[in-house]
Chain A
Amino acid sequence: AQSVSQHNHHVILSEAASLELGCNYSYGGTVNLFWYVQYPGQHLQLLLKYFSGDPLVKGIKGFEAEFIKSKFSFNLRKPSVQWSDTAEYFCAVNPYNTDKLIFGTGTRLQVFP
């Protein structure tokens, strides 16, 4: 079955630390990839997405993610986190030619000043 794995369930960082959240998926075909963010008390918002082309994609608020096809991975990175980045982050995969998103279990990020 298709699945998305986020191995970091809870990450705690100090401000200015670098961030990398892992995302791996199990699907052999073409995929579209997404990172969504859910700030406390808010709904999910799109952070960035990859459809094709340059495997390094940049999103809002200084986030970026790199698609490595050989590793079935789409890790999220940010060089220097801020307290306002405290949120839950979800990786999602859309297998090509389907209308569905398959979500990972999420990573809760806490950033302390």
Chain B
Amino acid sequence: NAGVTQTPKFRILKIGQSMTLQCTQDMNHNYMYWYRQDPGMGLKLIYYSVGAGITDKGEVPNGYNVSRSTTEDFPLRLELAAPSQTSVYFCASKTEYTDTQYFGPGTRLTVL
């Protein structure tokens, strides 16, 4: 039982490049979340999903897209990377029966 896994751990992008941050959980959790963590700002919710095929915007969705084709996977897509997207990205998941979220190890992204 690996919990929530994220790849890659680190990535440097040039402005305008695109990439997908991967998130997978093996706990059969219906709910999955993407956050970004900026210094001194706490965690901000980007997108979330309450089940396969269902996604919704969080607090800071601009510049990102998500999909949820399976229960296990919840990839986050950056289409045109901008320096403002330099951040640490965390994926989290939970069941529908509890409000405790379980976090992945994070992806540190730098856009230059």
Contact = CB atoms under 8 A, between A and B. Distances in A.
A, B in one complex: yes
Interface residues of A, number: 22
A101 B35 CA distance: 10
A103 B101 contact: no
A103 B100 contact: no
A32 B41 CA distance: 21
B100 A100 contact: no
Interface stretch (B11-19, B62-70, B71-79, B103-111): B103-111
A90 B33 CA distance: 17
Which label, helix, strand, loop or mixed, suits the secondary structure of the A interface? Answer: loop
B45 interface: yes
Given A44-B90, A46-B100, A49-B100, A99 B42 contact: no
A105 B99 contact: no
Nearest to A98: B99
A51 B90 CA distance: 24
Contacts, number: 49
29 contacts: A6-B42, A9-B40, A32-B99, A34-B99, A34-B100, A36-B103, A42-B105, A43-B103, A43-B104, A43-B106, A44-B43, A44-B92, A45-B103, A49-B99, A49-B100, A94-B99, A99-B48, A99-B50, A99-B99, A100-B48, A100-B58, A101-B99, A101-B101, A103-B35, A103-B42, A105-B41, A105-B42, A106-B40, A106-B42
Interface of B: 31, 33, 35, 40-45, 48, 50, 58, 90, 92, 99-106
